[in-house]
Structure formats: structure tokens, C-alpha cells
Amino acid sequence: MEWLTIVLALVVTGLIAGVLAGLLGVGGGIVIVPVLFFVFQAIGVSSDSAMLIATGTSLVIIIATSISSIRAHHAKGNVDLALVRLWWPFIVLGALSGVLLSTHIGGKFASVVFGCTAILVACNMLFRASSAPLLAQLPGKTFQAILAVVIGGISVIMGIGGGTLGVPLLTACNFPAHRAVGTAAAFGFIIAVPGASLLLLLASTPADAPRGTYGFINLIGVALIMPLSVVMAPVGVKLGSLINGTTLKRIFALFLVLSGLRMMVQALA
């Protein structure tokens, strides 16, 4: 019964993550990581190990989810390929640095980073969703490179795609909203490939890891969540053009705040 509950939780996670990846441009990981974090602890994994395994598992899933999302957005002309070509080396640099930092310091550090960032993202959703852009256009290439490194580093520590940070940062620079979502989907792929690879190949599997875990990646979670998230991402893209997402964003923001606070409390206790 315990494993049946876990399987059902992972299936629901996959459905929700896929829809949100396309609908809100959040990459799915912002949902996957907290759910896996709490599910793994429910079966006896320590909070430190649970966070690192949730992060690695999420990044593998994002590889597939982002490809599906990129294809859907590219068909609508919403991926800025020129910006992707300019930013990708710096995103990779940030992602590699983030993996090394999180694996060296541990899961508690990743939990605090996730909690703080999730709360900031929620506040942005609630209070800046309809605000005017902060800048008239993207800043110079040097500052863009810094933004790309930050997006790559923080995102890989959190186990999320590029949308959670990329979309609000791009829209704050007067980037069109739909184009920001599509471009950030490409950021997610660039973040997830090196991040997941390092966490699979270089990380030592924790002693209390659940069955099917290699390095910091749980293959059972990947097998259950990935197919559903891939299928549902294009559905989210279509829903984005049909419904008003204000109420959904508010509910999701509340979920982020509660999840972020609980992660921080557990990490700092």
C-alpha cells in the first residue's frame, strides 16, 4: 500500500509538471523537486539525501520535458535562437559550477537555495505578474553573461529548468512573454544535460537512497514521471492560449511558498 501511494503520487506529479512546463514556463522541476523531496522522506530517506536525489531525478526528467516544450514553442515561433546561441556557454558554466557546489556542500544547502528562490518566484508571480518591465531591453552582453551563469547555477542546484528564473528575468527586460517562455524552455535543456550527467556519473549513491537510485538519480521516479510530463507539456502550451492563468498562478504561488518554507525549516532545524 505504501508503494502504491508513492506510485500514484509520482504519476500525479508527472501530469501536473508537464502541464505547468508548457502553461507557465516553469520547467516542471519546481513541482517535481518538492514532491520527490517529501515522497522520498516518507519512505525513510534522510532530508539531505532526499533533496540531492530529488534534484538529480528532476534534471533527467527536464531533459525530455524541455525537448517536448521546445518543439511546441518553436512551432509557434517563440524560441529566440540568437539569444540561446549567445547564452548557452554561460548557462553551461553556471550549471557545472552549481553541481560541484551543491554536491560538495550537501542537500541542506540545496534545500535552503530552493526554499529562498521558490518564495521569491512566488512573490514575483503574485506582485509583479502585470507590472511594467524594469528595463526597456536586455542589458549589454557582459551583464547578459552574468545573468546566464546565475540562471544555470541556481537552476541546477534547485533541480529545475530555465523557466522559473529565465522567464521573469527576460520579461523584466521587456522580452515578450510567450517568447520568454519558449526561449527559457531551451535554457532548461542546456541546464539539465550537463547537470544530470554529472549527478549520474560523478556522485556517490547515498547509503539510504531508495531502490533504483544511481548517483543522485532515481530511475523509478524518472520512469514514472518522464513519459507523463512529456505528453502533457504540449497540452500546457495549448491551454496557455485558451485560459486566464491568474488564479492558477496564485494557487501555484501558494504551493511554492508552503513548500519553500517547509524545506527551509527542515534544512535549518
Contact 31, 190 (CB under 8 A): no
| Mean pLDDT over the full length of the chain | 85
Mind listing the pLDDT tens digit for each residue in 5-30? 778 878 887 887 777 766 765 657 88
**Chain centroid to CA 117:** 11
Mind listing the pLDDT tens digit for each residue in 129-172? 666 777 778 889 999 999 999 999 999 999 988 888 888 888 88
Q: How far is 50 from 86, CA to CA, in rounded Å?
A: 35
Q: What are phi and psi of 40, to 5 degrees?
A: -60, -40
Average pLDDT of 93-121?
Answer: 89
Q: Which one has a higher pLDDT value, 192 or 28?
A: 192
Tell me if residue 25 falls in helix, strand or coil.
Answer: coil
pLDDT of residue 93: 97
Residue 78 has pLDDT above 90, yes or no: no
pLDDT of residue 26: 61
Average pLDDT of 183-207?
Answer: 90
Q: How far is 56 from 221, CA to CA, in rounded Å?
A: 10
Residue 114 has pLDDT above 70, yes or no: yes
Tell me if residue 202 falls in helix, strand or coil.
Answer: coil
121 burial level (CB within 10 Å; 0-12, 13-18, 19+): buried
Mind listing the pLDDT tens digit for each residue in 36-52? 888 888 888 898 899 99
Average pLDDT of 70-94?
Answer: 92
pLDDT of residue 10: 80
Confidence class for position 187, pLDDT limits 50, 70, 90: very high
Tell me the three-class secondary structure of 5-31, residue by residue: HHHHHHHHHHHHHHHHHHHCCCCCHHH
pLDDT of residue 147: 93
Q: Which residues pair with 214 in a beta bridge?
A: 217
217-218 vs 213-214, strand pairing mode: antiparallel
Q: How far is 28 from 22, CA to CA, in rounded Å?
A: 9
pLDDT of residue 21: 66
Contact 110, 34 (CB under 8 A): no
For the chain, percent of residues with pLDDT exceeding 70: 92
